[in-house]
Chain A
Amino acid sequence: DQQVKQNSPSLSVQEGRISILNCDYTNSMFDYFLWYKKYPAEGPTFLISISSIKDKNEDGRFTVFLNKSAKHLSLHIVPSQPGDSAVYFCAASVEGAQKLVFGQGTRLTINP
């Protein structure tokens, strides 16, 4: 039972354009959402997060949008850079549960 889903296994974007990565969840108890970036042979690196009391959080080129009614969040990267090529994982948690539930990841490739 996959509670967090990233339905696009891969995404290819031109350098300088916007990258949009999507994530859906089924558990309405989730109240904190995160995006992690992962390079090969490395651990996931925290990128940006959002609490369920917000619908947008921005950090430089990265913006996360949360639509609670649709149980959907997205990560926007603009402008996309070659160094952004990695696997992006969406994760969700319930406050106090002390565990993250991950999506299966989306491989983002930025083409020069």
Chain B
Amino acid sequence: DTAVSQTPKYLVTQMGNDKSIKCEQNLGHDTMYWYKQDSKKFLKIMFSYNNKELIINETVPNRFSPKSPDKAHLNLHINSLELGDSAVYFCASSQRSPGTETQYFGPGTRLLVL
């Protein structure tokens, strides 16, 4: 039973297309995240949602729109895909608790924009 799952695992698409990546967690956590790992392998936060409310938006282009229908799901929709969007996108979740920020990650979605 996977704790944090993402679909699809691989996504190859043309420039200009719109695509979505889905994330689900069954850990009962109240906070979910999207991270991007670029070609230089840096993992950087994009968004954070707590109880379906947007908490963090790290200067991500507005072509990226996260949607959280409930606490267990955080989807990422990307409009007008560009070559530079090619990366690995990781979803994560955590339980907001003072003194700890342990986040648990999904397997990643490898996006290639041609």
Residues of B within 8 A of A100 (CB): 45, 101, 103
Complex Cα gap A104–B90 (Å) = 15
Binary CB contact string for chain B from 98 to 109 against chain A (1 if under 8 A, 0 otherwise): 111111111110
Residues of B within 8 A of A43 (CB): 4, 90, 92, 105-108
In the complex, how many angstroms separate the beta carbon of A24 from the nearest chain B beta carbon? 16
List CB contacts (< 8 Å) of A17-41 with chain B: 32, 34, 36, 41
- Interface segment, one of A44-52, A55-63, A69-77: A44-52
Count, chain A residues at interface, CB 8 A: 24
Residues of B within 8 A of A49 (CB): 100, 102
Cβ-neighbour of A89 out of B43, B55, B100 (below 8 A): B43
Complex Cα gap A44–B94 (Å) = 14
